[in-house]
Amino acid sequence: MTKYIVLIGDGMADYPIPELDGKTPLEAAKTPHMDRIASCRIGLVKTIPDGMEPGSDVANLALLGYDPAKYHTGRGPLEAASMGIPLNPDQVAFRMNLVTLSLSSGKEITMLSHSAGELTTQEGNAIVADLKKDLERPGIYIHPGVAYRHLLVWTNGPEDESTIPPHDVLDQNMAPYLFEKSTCPIQDLIRSSWPLLKKHPVNLLRKKQGLAEANSIWLWGQGKAPRLPLFADLFALKGAVISAVDLLKGIGIYAGLEAVAVEGATGYLNSNFKGKVEAALHHLKELDFIFLHVEAPDEAGHHGDFTEKIEAIEVFDAEIVGPILEGLQLFDDFRVMVASDHLTPVSRKTHTADPTTFAWATKHELERSSMKGSFTETAALQSGLLFQKGHDLMPSFLGTS
């Protein structure tokens, strides 16, 4: 029985960077294991349909074989599923970030950090516990998540109001958005968090330590529960998702995949990569398919730090891809894919909708590999292989198309 595993380095793909002599982080990084896979087959995949926001929710739905234009309803409900929060038909789930804004002047309020300076889960949950006491009311419910990523469920909430992903507007003035609609309930709720967070003990301590304060909530990515066909019904395979990020686990849950929890998986460079690899290989003994996701390269892109991004890519290659390739030798037959779900260029500090890089190989192809591949954006472009519809890549990889 063939085993299938997909390895996602979130946001790895990028644009050429002058400080790297015109190379991208993927081109500058040492990635022998991804290069080995790319020596067999490499190409581009358009994971973001025209007119849709270039988010990880849209991109990973596509990579799993689902047409985002048909099945995507929002990021919030996917994360709710991962957190074990059922949604009634009239409930709207919002992602609730804890962010850092410059609040010294009402005329200019800059989005300084979408992650409140990489807030820890312990800090985030302490803050959310108090926000629940002060902001919850009938029909509005707040749920703690991981690090800066939390959830707000709103009965009959403003599903169609325009919201903005905070990582899309880093270093931008958000005062017009926050004040132009004086009666908008979303902005009202955001502003109501400011006096509560200003005096919170976690923020007072972070201020003393010279760290960014989580001085605002930020609501975005709202939607109602989607209805996905089961992955097993589409492809006749049983599988699991492994990720530190609730979004990815939520997609897996709606798809009928097992969401595997790995202790110490953080979404940052300090994540338990060894634990993720061990969990993947262990579950692959009983299952047919694993979708393993690593967030760290995306965070580096949002920070605008190409040195950190190169490090994250090299860690992904050395601590995820390499050990997975070694562990897969225990199986009689396998196919392995590595992909960047979307671009997160350090020059933009946010996602873009450009076609992104993927490579995949069979066990037999790897055994015959020339070892002369290159997992880079340039190599993917030069291959001439392009999936215009992102959801067509999975059937091709599985051999069902």
Give the residue carrying structure tokens 């009689």: 332
Q: What is the CA radius of gyration of the chain?
A: 21
Residue 318: which of 41, 40, 9 has the closest Cα?
Answer: 9
Q: How far is CA 77 from CA 10, 89, 263, in A?
A: 20, 11, 24
Give the residue carrying structure tokens 């403003």: 158
- Cα diameter, the chain: 64
Residue 143: which of 85, 201, 99 has the closest Cα?
Answer: 85
Q: Residue type at 371? A: M
Q: What is the pTM of this model?
A: 0.90
Residue 194: which of 179, 181, 209 has the closest Cα?
Answer: 179
Tokens of 57: 């929710």
**Is-contact 252 196, C-beta < 8 A?**
no
**Is-contact 73 263, C-beta < 8 A?**
no
DSSP 94-146: EEEEEEEE--S-SS--BEEETTTTT--HHHHHHHHHHHHHHH-BTTEEEEEEE
Per-residue confidence of the chain (401 residues) as pLDDT tens digits?
A: 999 999 999 999 999 999 999 999 999 999 999 999 999 999 999 999 999 999 999 999 999 999 999 999 999 999 999 999 999 999 999 999 999 999 976 689 999 999 999 899 999 999 999 999 999 999 999 999 989 999 999 999 999 999 999 999 999 999 999 987 667 899 999 999 999 999 999 999 999 999 999 999 999 999 999 999 999 999 999 999 999 998 999 999 999 999 999 999 988 899 999 999 999 999 999 999 999 999 999 999 999 999 999 999 999 999 999 999 999 999 999 999 999 999 999 999 999 999 999 999 999 999 998 778 999 999 999 999 999 999 999 999 999 87
C-alpha span between 262 and 260 (Å, rounded): 6
Record: fold of 3-72+227-398: Alkaline Phosphatase, subunit A (3.40.720)
| Residues linked to residue 219 through DSSP beta bridges, in sequence order | 96
C-alpha span between 391 and 395 (Å, rounded): 8
Q: Residue type at 133? A: K
C-alpha span between 158 and 369 (Å, rounded): 53
Tokens of 147: 């690090």
Tokens of 251: 């997609």
**Helices within 44-162 (DSSP H only):** 56-63, 68-71, 75-82, 121-135
Domain boundaries defined on the chain: 3-72+227-398, 91-223
**Is-contact 34 25, C-beta < 8 A?**
no
Give the residue carrying structure tokens 């190989």: 361
- Model pLDDT, residue 182: 63
**Is-contact 57 69, C-beta < 8 A?**
no
- Model pLDDT, residue 266: 86
Query: How wide is the angle at C-alpha 239 spanned by C-alphas 356 and 50, nearest 5°?
Result: 30
Helix 246-254 and helix 56-63, axial crossing angle in degrees, nearest 10: 40
Give the residue carrying structure tokens 């262990």: 282
CA dihedral sign of residues 82, 86, 88, 91:
negative
Q: How far is CA 271 from CA 251, 266, 283, 294, 296, in A?
A: 21, 5, 19, 9, 8
**Is-contact 185 67, C-beta < 8 A?**
no
**Is-contact 350 170, C-beta < 8 A?**
yes
- Model pLDDT, residue 289: 99
- Model pLDDT, residue 370: 75
Tokens of 155: 């009965």
